[in-house]
Amino acid sequence: MIEQAMFDDAFLEKLRAAVSGAVLFDEPLSRYTSFGVGGKADAIIFPKNSEELSRAIACLGEEAVPFMPVGKGTNLIVRDGGYRGVVISLSGLHDLRIEEGVDGAVCIHAEAGAPLAYVVDLSLREGIAGMEFCAGIPGSVGGAVRMNAGAYGREIKDVVEKVAFITGKGEILEQDRGSLDFTYRRLALPPDLLILAAAFSLTRGDREEIRKKVEKILALRKEKHPLMYRNAGSIFKNPPGISAGRIIDETGLKGLQTGDARISEMHGNFIVNLGRAKAVDVLALIDTVKKRVFEERGIVLETEVCIIGEDR
């Protein structure tokens, strides 16, 4: 474990000078994920803007300290042994800005740590159409871009115009939609690129119509997803042409429980934390599902959630 005492003083001083927000050591990552499972990170830092983020990354890079960005932690399972290195919380980078275009075109610029819900709310208030499908997707802008989040027939890639990144050396660069390699629930990125902000290409629309669409989607999600429990959204990617939730349902695995983790009775592709679940419980359920689905249907399910960190 990299303990505070093991960072040399000069490095700690540089890191603290780089970031005006908190620098916490030995911090439980269960506090920073929607699932609420997982062990401690050696350190977590909270840069407040892109300059601080850039300085922090440069500083970590110089010392070859491993680091990992986290937005709202909604698609993340951290193993119980935690993360060896520094977690960078992007929660302090949450600015949004509207840029008017011509003929009703509008662009919303959003920093990576902004909740996607802020973008949906802003577009609703301002009568901007195009983000409705994101209503109820819990996560940050950066996470949604990284995972090419989607629902109801649309994906982030359909609305993204450009994405700004920070390199492992702390330099900022931008890429247009055309040069970004989006696939189902994934944006392929070199390991040293971190998403800093995204611009969404939208249009002026009728506020009442937008509100109706958003409300319809929120109601559908409430009806289908077990939102009363902590969860990480869909656990598995849908295999081509079929829903993982339906397969799991047909395999009779709904309601299966290990510790305080349970395969939701409401939707087969959700695992819920009934209160004190450990990552090991969730991972055991994931394994069981994969094995049973392969044995019974010959289908290899792939996880959609990111699984990181060390076993205890």
Residues that bind ligand EPU (CB under 6 A): 151-152, 224, 233-234, 237-238, 243-246, 249, 267-269, 304
Q: How far is the CB of 244 from ligand EPU (least distance, A)?
A: 6
Terminal-residue alpha carbon distance, the chain: 12
Closer by beta carbon to ligand EPU, 190 or else 241? 241
Distance CA 136, CA 116 (A): 9
Q: How far is the CB of 107 from ligand EPU (least distance, A)?
A: 25
- Secondary structure of residue 181 in the 3-state scheme: strand
Q: How far is the CB of 242 from ligand EPU (least distance, A)?
A: 8
Return the exposure string of 145-166: e unless at least 16 CB atoms fall within 10 Å of the residue's CB, then b: bbbbbbbeeebbbebbbbbbbb
What are the C-alpha distances in Å from 265 to residues 163, 214, 289, 304?
A: 38, 25, 14, 19
Name the strand (E) or helix (H) holding 84.
strand 83-89
**What single letter denotes the amino acid at residue 75?**
N
Closer by beta carbon to ligand EPU, 115 or else 233? 233
Q: How far is the CB of 160 from ligand EPU (least distance, A)?
A: 17
Closer by beta carbon to ligand EPU, 74 or else 258? 74
Cα angle for residues 147, 154, 123 (degrees, 5° grid): 90
Beta-bridged to residue 110, according to DSSP, are: 96, 198
User: Which residues are identified as catalytic?
Assistant: 185, 234, 304
Closer by beta carbon to ligand EPU, 262 or else 267? 267
